[in-house]
Structure 1
Amino acid sequence: MLSPKIVASDPEQPAGPLYKRGWSLHSSEGSNPDDIVRALVELGERLGTRVPGRAGLLEEVVEPLAAEDAHPRSLSARYGLSALPFHTELSHRPRPCRYLLLGCVDPGSPAAATMLLDWRTLGFSQDELALLEEAPVFVRTGRRSFYSTILAPGGAFLRYDPGCLEAMDDRGRRAMQLIDGRVAAAPFDAHHWRQGDIIIIDNWRVLHGRSPSDHGSGRRLARILIDA
């Protein structure tokens, strides 16, 4: 069987939207889950190597969950079907994945949008960046919890997830308050899904979230994670 055609500019082109704004929109001509996953894999393999998600799977189809049905340490366990806040995917790991690829199997009814926010547009001063890079936070992830900072050394990526980060001292609290405030006040892009849509997100640069969803909406997104 021929692989599904991907309609998009090459994500590796330096002038492309992935590099200009930190995310890019593509489309798979196939509409069933297998077609969309194959399209995700084809795009992802141009960028790096797949890594497993929270459940240990390389390929997943995810849907909005009520709090009682979600993984106990996930954002869904805290927020349920309410809006999921902006976050960095895999913040609970020492090195978050570089790219997140999402493909729309079913937008659901009513549809819930994916929200996108480039943290580099939040207007941090040099002193504020230094605070984010130096203030300790605790990354709570069960037996593998660890200490880290919100901003990686040299500003490589932002580790942000209201569900797993905890301030350890006054500096950490200032850092958390700083980024919480900037994120809450910032304008963002909202993508309203259509079946077959694919989004590549530079996870080190762009935070993502989800607008509220209804129980049983049918919204399903295929997801793969890429390290590079």
Structure 2
Amino acid sequence: MATHDIALSDTGQPLGPLAERGWSLHCSKGTGADAIVSDLGKLADRLGTRVAGRAGALEEVIEPHGADDAHPRSLSARYGLEALPFHTELSHRTRPCRYLLLGCIDPGSPAAATTLLDWRTLGFSSEELDLLEGTPVLVRSGRRSFYSTILAPGGAFLRYDPGCLEAVNQRGRMALALIGDRIATASPQAHHWRQGDILIIDNWRVLHGRSPSDQGSSRRLARILIDV
């Protein structure tokens, strides 16, 4: 799978690039952690309403964890410091957040890239879209587990996360295998973090992942989730 680097957005209007390609890249005017988080929050609040993350916080700082140190139901618990697969943020909830904002406090050494993939570029036929929209799968979320389809009605968003989606029949296995096969042959884009970078991702359109990381790399990203 080849990856292509992404370039800094030349506009201060986040909705323009988001509508065009599903993500936009900006740079904080400050260099300290507080300034970066502040600029991240200003962009986030222009887009919509903040949504609590897994730990219940409206603003989080995330870093790579080994499997033993990760939240038991997170992707890191399964993949640890290996590459994290492409996924939709908050797939384990009935409505995934619309936007994911990440701000780089420290890129770490060695740095781990964030990878991006627009699911609309995966070349699904109309029959394959019908399969994704019409086949129920189990969404594992502890006591709040529920049934859903991978593709929301009308194609509003793709719910995909190999850590929480489980097929309940042969068609479900076909649907999950279809996405996995298309991702394996796709050409995603990669962002190699620099301190102060801010990445806004349309979570309903663009899947994201992470390249492998090292224990103690010091990589730290501020994260805010937004709904509209």
The corresponding residue for 1:9 is 12
Scaled by the length of structure 1, what TM-score is found? 0.95
Q: Which runs of 5+ in 1 are unaligned?
A: 1-6
Q: Quote the Cα distance in structure 1 between the aligned partners of 2:97 and 2:158.
A: 11
1:133-170 Cα shifts (integer Å, max 9, x gaps): 01110000100000001000000000000000000101
Structure 2 counterpart of 1:143: 143
- The answer for the alignment partner of 1:211 in structure 2 is 211
Query: Is the contact made by 1:105 and 1:221 (CA closer than 8 Å) also made in structure 2?
Result: yes
Map of 2:124 onto structure 1: 124
- Superposed, 1:53-132 pairs within 5 Å as 53-132=53-132
Give the drift of 1:83: 0.2
CA deviations 1:65-111 (Å, max 9, x no partner) are 00000000000000000000000000000000000000000000000
Shift of 1:9: 2.2
Q: Which residue of 1 aligns with 2:5?
A: none
Q: CA RMSD in A?
A: 0.9
TM alignment of 1:171-210, pairs within 5 A: 171-210=171-210
Aligned-partner SS, 1:94: coil
Is 1:23 the equivalent of 2:23?
A: yes
- Provide the rounded CA distance (Å) in 2 between the counterparts of 1:195 and 1:33: 9
- Report the AA paired with residue 33 of structure 1: A
Which 4+ stretches in 1 moved above 2 angstroms?
none
SS at match of 1:19: helix
Q: TM-score normalised to the size of structure 2?
A: 0.95
Paired residues of 1:98 and 1:203 also in contact (CA < 8 A): yes
Q: 2:223 maps to what in 1? A: 223
Q: Secondary structure at the match of 2:90?
A: coil
Q: Would the aligned equivalents of 1:75 and 1:84 in 2 still touch at CA under 8 Å?
A: yes
- Distance, in Å, in 2 between the alignment partners of 1:189 and 1:76 is 21
Identity, in percent, stands at 76
